[in-house]
Chain A
Amino acid sequence: MALESFNIIVSGVGGQGTVLSIKLLAECALASGAAVRSAETIGMAQRGGGVLGHVRISPQGNDPVSHSPLIPLGQAQLLIGFEPVETLRAYRYCRQGAFVVTATEPLMPPTASLQRLSYDGKAQLEALEQEAVNGGISQLVCVENSTVMSSLGFDKALNVVLLGAALEVLNESGSPYASLLSHETMCDVIKALVKQRYVEPNLRALEMGRKLREQRG
């Protein structure tokens, strides 16, 4: 029986580079022979609102098992979150035992100040950690934004650092889908898709994400 689809949900705030990461994931899987569908929220949702991206990978390119672009709730095996509350918000898309990679720096929703809501992201990260303890999440990787900044010298490539960490988690887990999202293929995809002058920084970001994971493990 064919493997079911591998579903990746990407969650962040407009302007964080979620769209590029969806594109890179999709192209990487395509280059590895899979069939891919993806979708992103555009329009009204863009103005500082949350952005959700869906990537659905059917391992057998010639026999796709997903026909529609949106991941049903409870069906994602991997969640890449760019911001604590956005990661938690997308968690309902996750299947039991999903992998979750999240950035730790909170971005205050503009309406929160108005409503006098305080928000530092800690409670959201703790909730995710609790999920990792009780098995809802099988692997949780928290990427400190400040580390990205200090080791890369720039923070625009957070999206690719998160990708690097996510790919490594997949690789370590021995997942049958790891070969569809290998570091090597992702490097090639970055070289092919990203503007020439941003290739090298993005490759460094990918490598940094991979190593973040290595150090932890």
Chain B
Amino acid sequence: MGNAAAAHGALAAGVNLISGYPGTPSSELLEVASAFVQNAVADGVLSAEQAPHVEWSVNEKAALEVAYGASISGARALVTMKQVGLNVAADPFMTIATLGVKGGLVLYVADDPGPISSQNEQDTRLYAQFAKIPLLDSSSPEELFALMPRAFRLSEQHGCAVIVRATTRICHGSAPVPAVNRYKPHPISGFERNPRWVIFPPLAYQAHLAVPERLQSILANPDFSDLNYQIRADDTPAELGIVAGGISWSYLQDVLCQYNLSASFDLLKLGAPFPFPEELVTDFLMRHRTVLVFEELEPTIERELHRVAGSEQTGSFIYGKLTGTTRFAGENSVAIISDDLLHFLRVVGLLPKELLPEESLLEESLLEELATLTPEPSFDELLIPRPPVLCAGCPHRASFYAVKKALQGKKAFFSGDIGCYTLGNSLPLNMVDTCVCMGAGFTVPQGMHWAQPDALHLGFVGDSTFYASGLTGVVNAVYNQSAITFVVLDNELTAMTGSQPHPGTGLRMSYDAKADDVLRAPSIARVIEALGVRQVYEIDPLKLPQAIEAVTQATQLTEVSAVVFRAPCVNVGKRQAPPQLLSDDCTGCWICIDSIGCPALIMNDKAGLVHIDEEHCFGCDLCTQICPTNALESTNGS
């Protein structure tokens, strides 16, 4: 997959340190690199001294600062994150852009058009413009592999951080890429004391002044400029020029192939959209009165084209998101680019004759064509939905249910956060009233508390999120005496992104991680106490009566309190025997299903009883504690 290709590309460049924070779709890069290093050390082909350091940092800000520290020591450093992670790291990012670097510093940032699994559709290309650091944009896994060594060289030659950007379909798409068989570390030159590493206003000013010259020299570097190129049509000059970048370029190739149009238009690929290659673009615009742009997320390229067309007075008409010619939001696809392109060609009268339908009733004939291609009787009523849910045996289900039971009939609001537990918003739990970003689950309810002090306010945050962005929220409530209740959903790993370790687990990604690291891991309850919360309850949510009691007590207090629900994720916990259904006692009331919505509890409408799907049941016994007729009996002897 693309993330693995990026990992191998970085290893091929001799990267000395990789740090990051998990986030879909970026997470696999660091895991692939870590596995490579651990295997190489275990096989004796890589010595411990030469092995790159690989870590999951506590959050993206820490990850970038760690990588920066390595870079100014002369090491090649890579930091990985998803698009919203760069917001967390934006503070060091903006200033590192001014300070510059020594060893190559590359940020691998994965955008998520759609979005498929993110809270927004932000475009990292705008961050590159904002910070004025170069960005290399990939349109396939193969390109990602090749971009990594380029990015490190550029970073070192120009003394600035470089962003390598990917998007979900590239990160999670696969194509053959040459694997790295031997890792050779980049030689680390060492840190040298110099006032240039200490930011002061005069230095910030001087460094700012140097930016235009740096950007000009980057534009002239073949490692950068080779990524932007034109493909000329057969009949030059073609009337229409098409500009694309990222995965949209690959979609465009497919569409042009499909309609045999590959040689009909001049194409401009922008694989390195910042700094913007004005000379190349001016030449392209000068030769085309009509220019169409395909890109995902913001009209980043399109706006730059308008700027250049204006300043160079090329007289071009530029079409894209800003003109409503292409879609403003969501991800592109072959079908979308195909639709948008054919529609545009018809409107501007450039549709090739062979694609023009005889009666020139294009839309109808296209529809007919589609009808023959796509067998499309309506099966809608048969397509019963299968949305994602919390897994069978997931301890979060028990936690949400315990809070719900404890606060039944009370005026209470529940702020959620980013992770598997965002799924607690779905029925029947319906326990997530707000969700914004990492850490907001602990701070949003504080504001709600001051606005509505008559209600109970609870904030839910996962264990990885707690360390990433939750700590400061706890301190804020203690400091300001915001009488809310923190609920930590501690399932002992970062579940949503693929079971990554975090500080609370003690497990690490580096090859020399030790077993006793786990024992020294901090307890979240102790940490919260140490931050000044006096009433902290630590409880196994699967022991339902005790869990309900803990929530009841914590929420009766008139001061800030905390409940830490601790039980392992089903990906690491021990599976137990499913409960036994005592069919004589089951009345078919469906209270179990309607209360917790566990995927292993199925309505058996033939027998009129509940059915336990033993293949999926994790044996958590939550349902046995809910059944009003005791028809579900635990077989785990507790």
Contacts and interface: CB of A to CB of B under 8 A. Distances in A.
Given A48-B599, A113-B603, A72 B333 contact: yes
B175 interface: yes
Interface stretch (B166-174, B282-290, B471-479, B530-538): B166-174
A49 B387 contact: yes
A42 B427 CA distance: 23
Interface residues of A, number: 55
Interface string B334-376: 1100100000000000000000000000000000001011111
A118 B605 contact: yes
Interface string A27-59: 000100001111111111111111000000000
A19 to B, nearest CB: 10
Contacts of B174: 26, 36-39, 69
B383 A114 contact: no
A21 B25 CA distance: 21
Contact of B603 (A35, A116, A124): A116
* Residues of B in contact with A, size category: 35 or more
B373 A43 contact: no
B428 A114 contact: yes
B384 A119 contact: yes
Contacts of A136: 375, 377
A111 interface: yes
A117 B597 contact: no
Interface stretch (A85-93, A158-166, A167-175): A85-93
A111 B389 contact: yes
A111 B176 contact: no
B373 A39 contact: no
Interface stretch (B86-94, B193-201, B249-257, B295-303): B249-257
Contacts of B25: 42-43
Nearest to B253: A67
A45 B386 CA distance: 10
17 contacts: A37-B173, A38-B174, A44-B116, A44-B117, A66-B254, A67-B251, A68-B254, A68-B334, A70-B334, A72-B334, A73-B335, A75-B373, A89-B383, A95-B373, A95-B374, A111-B385, A111-B426
A44 B175 CA distance: 23
Nearest to B251: A68
Interface in A1-30: 13, 26, 30
A118 B613 CA distance: 15
Nearest to B112: A43
A86 B376 CA distance: 16
Nearest to B381: A123
Contacts of A39: 169, 172-174
B443 to A, nearest CB: 24
A47 B370 contact: no
Interface of B: 24-25, 116-117, 140, 169, 172-176, 247, 250-251, 253-254, 257, 333-335, 338, 370, 372-377, 379, 382-391, 420, 423, 426-428, 496-498, 590, 593-594, 597-599, 601-603, 605, 613
Interface in A103-121: 108-114, 116-119
A68 B603 contact: no
A155 to B, nearest CB: 9
Given A42-B25, A110-B597, A124-B379, 9 more contacts: A36-B174, A43-B24, A45-B117, A68-B173, A70-B334, A89-B383, A108-B613, A111-B426, A111-B427
A109 B602 CA distance: 9
Nearest to A96: B375
A127 interface: yes
Given A68-B251, A70-B333, A111 B387 contact: yes
A80 B227 CA distance: 38
Contact of A30 (B176, B383, B385, B593): B176
Given A47-B391, A67-B253, A70-B334, A114 B375 contact: no
| A-B pairs, 6 with minimum CB distance | A74-B374, A69-B173, A136-B375, A110-B599, A49-B388, A43-B117
A114 B597 contact: yes
Nearest to B331: A70
Chain B interface main SS type: loop
Contacts of A43: 24-25, 116-117, 496-497
B594 A40 contact: no
A207 interface: no
Nearest to B23: A43
Contacts of B498: 42
Contact of B420 (A42, A47, A118): A47
Nearest to A113: B603
A94 interface: yes
A131 interface: yes
A100 B386 CA distance: 21
B252 to A, nearest CB: 8
Contacts of A95: 373-374
Contacts of B117: 43-45
A140 interface: no
Contacts of B334: 68, 70, 72
B496 to A, nearest CB: 8
A36 B142 CA distance: 12
B178 to A, nearest CB: 13
Contacts of A74: 370, 373-374, 376
Contacts of B423: 47
B388 to A, nearest CB: 4
Contacts of A123: 382
Contacts of B426: 111
B526 to A, nearest CB: 31
Given A47-B423, A49-B388, A111-B597, A72 B173 contact: no
A74 B598 CA distance: 35
A61 B372 CA distance: 29
Contacts of B172: 39-42
Interface string A164-200: 0000000000000000000000000000000000000
A110 B175 contact: no
Given A39-B174, A68-B334, A74-B373, A88 B24 contact: no
Contacts of A114: 427-428, 593-594, 597
A216 B172 CA distance: 37
